[in-house]
Amino acid sequence: ETGVTQTPRHLVMGMTNKKSLKCEQHLGHNAMYWYKQSAKKPLELMFVYSLEERVENNSVPSRFSPECPNSSHLFLHLHTLQPEDSALYLCASSQVGAASGANVLTFGAGSRLTVL
């Protein structure tokens, strides 16, 4: 496995379900991110884990809960979601403090979530 892998690629869930999205990076990066991508809208940063620190977008509802057990794995736990949460959820990783100065994100292919 190389790069950033996300599972599942597709998920359909009811509003009362609990599910989790998983992300794994094989790049040795020290930061991982969750983004939400909705059609024709800008990418929305949800959560960042970098160097043991968690940074979050305060506008993200509490029905989304991240977990980062180590620098290679990232989860997004979902519960009691709403239909408007249907979107593509992208995981990314980067090397913060890289010599190039550019914090280049490497993205996974995403998990397409549909909430019924």
Partner 1 sequence: GQNIDQPTEMTATEGAIVQINCTYQTSGFNGLFWYQQHAGEAPTFLSYNVLDGLEEKGRFSSFLSRSKGYSYLLLKELQMKDSASYLCAVVEGNYQLIWGAGTKLIIKP
Which residues bind to partner 1, rule: CB under 8 A?
4, 31, 33, 40-43, 45, 48, 50, 55, 90, 96, 101-110
C-alpha span between 46 and 5 (Å, rounded): 18
C-alpha span between 63 and 41 (Å, rounded): 21
Q: What is the 8-class DSSP label of residue 52?
A: T
Name which of 12 and 104 has its Cβ closer to partner 1: 104
* Shortest Å distance, C-beta 74 to partner 1: 14
Decide if 60 contacts 47 (C-beta within 8 A).
Answer: yes
* Shortest Å distance, C-beta 4 to partner 1: 7
Name which of 90 and 115 has its Cβ closer to partner 1: 90
Name which of 99 and 102 has its Cβ closer to partner 1: 102
Percent of the chain as helix, strand, coil, to the nearest 5: 5, 55, 45
C-alpha span between 91 and 69 (Å, rounded): 15
* Shortest Å distance, C-beta 37 to partner 1: 9
* Shortest Å distance, C-beta 80 to partner 1: 28
Record the tokens describing residue 64, joined without a space.
Answer: 């989304």
Name which of 12 and 96 has its Cβ closer to partner 1: 96
